[in-house]
A and B are shown apart, each in its own frame.
Chain A
């Protein structure tokens, strides 16, 4: 597990790429190459730029397909804990689960992804940056990262992220807009001082809401202050189910794609998020 404290002040501001208008943000591909293709077809109608917040691999089929699609499309990618583990040939996904049963399922999907990712793609994942910094039209300092600015695999849940805590993370990371993923459930918050946090959710699996579609976020920088809209993304989930079964991926994962309810990795959920789900 990483607890690297990064020092954003080391990055000279002039290097930060400028963005304006609307920016599509997505994370947690989890090998769902079908949803990824759907996203790349949909997002250009919503936004002028697209960024991936990491975790290309996990419980879906054919990991190389998602990596190839992203490479070909030239989408800038922030490294997730999964990408780092696969890229650095680590023994586990470093997802940050603490329950033995959650870790059991996490280990199965990690072994599958690791085994089926080419060496070339592993090297590519290893070189991804841990954060991307952008500059908005009003000079907003925008930080894209995977879990939190201070830890790649920290879970930022809506019900466990009070305003003063988010303000501290933004202060420490020297940013005004923070975009993350890692938890798989989208949410956003405007802090009392106008700064903004968005969790883009995941396009790899449904958001534990009983729906088969997934979500991505569109960050809107055109207004008075930054905001985000969550876009439901439909994809051929039945084809994904077929591919998962053909690859002998364990049934609890397949069930989640079919039903929209999480069946594993539930113990890490805070009570509010857990209460909304079926299990």
Chain B
């Protein structure tokens, strides 16, 4: 069966893998197998990012999303955020564990100087230390919450993202996380659930995707198909441009050496595409609506 093409509708969101795949945590479910000492994809320099922003301006991008690895391992992440916010809204995806006083203060100053929103998304995978640290590593629960609290104190409204292993859109789970965040002084908790992608280290854990876990041509006819990130986003890395953050490092996810080369349809040939299709807007900042079966 030939995989159906996801049309490219123009670049709304430019993702930048600013810190490569280097991370200070080694989460059990990491889909791109980021971790300490992962040198597979080097970080981008501040100058690299500036030239990407120039290109983004030319094609009329709506927002910039920084990911990794862990973006705050990049020594110039705050300066890069400032460069970006003078021109675009931005989002930083972080594990939150490195968000301590001075960095957060400087980040808040950059955000205040801009008319655009800076969103900070912090990953937390369970509302209890025991469950979270089993997945994300010992000590990560407290450190991430401390980072979120520090952000809130500086005037940010961090979005906490949690990978859901049980059911999706579970209102009880949502409330659990909100109660936890409120107890740490976060007055307007924002929570987003993410599906688990059965790839990277998560494939070893859950067995990966079956052959039937694919997007079909018929599915692409359904309303909402335009929410697929690959129709309006690309990921720039030190190893070229990839179709989406999930398929970075997958041979078929590579779209070209430059942004303009990557502006073409993408065949939805991966199991992960079916997860993305079913959940819609997986990578957007707003919470996810799960497609009814």
Contacts and interface: CB of A to CB of B under 8 A. Distances in A.
A99 to B, nearest CB: 4
A274 interface: yes
Contacts of B285: 270
B15 interface: no
B289 interface: yes
Interface stretch (A128-136, A159-167, A198-206): A159-167
B61 interface: yes
Contact of B60 (A157, A165, A270): A165
Given A1-B226, A3-B226, A275-B155, A162 B63 contact: yes
Contact of A98 (B116, B117, B190, B289): B289
A98 B194 CA distance: 13
Interface string B40-59: 00000000000000001111
A271 interface: yes
B61 A165 contact: yes
Contacts of A267: 190, 286-287
A5 to B, nearest CB: 8
Contact of A272 (B62, B117, B288): B117
B188 A274 contact: yes
Contact of A100 (B89, B155, B190, B289): B289
B281 A165 contact: no
B104 to A, nearest CB: 14
Contacts of B284: 98
B72 to A, nearest CB: 18
A275 B157 CA distance: 7
**Chain A residues touching B, majority SS:** helix
Interface string B129-141: 0000000000000
Given A1-B226, A3-B226, A275-B157, A162 B116 contact: yes
Nearest to B223: A1
A159 B9 CA distance: 22
A272 B119 CA distance: 9
Nearest to B11: A168
Interface in B207-226: 223-224, 226
Contacts of B56: 164
Given A100-B287, A162-B62, A162-B63, A270 B226 contact: no
A162 B156 contact: no
B16 to A, nearest CB: 15
B179 interface: no
A159 B190 contact: no
Contact of A279 (B61, B88, B188, B223): B188
A229 interface: no
A101 B155 CA distance: 25
A100 B190 CA distance: 13
Contact of B119 (A3, A98, A270): A270
Contacts of A162: 61-63, 87-89, 116
A268 interface: yes
Given A3-B226, A160-B117, A267-B190, A100 B169 contact: yes
Contacts of B59: 164, 168
Nearest to B12: A165
A160 B61 contact: no
Contact of B171 (A100, A272, A279): A100
Contact of B63 (A160, A272, A279): A160
5 contacts: A98-B289, A100-B174, A160-B117, A164-B59, A164-B60
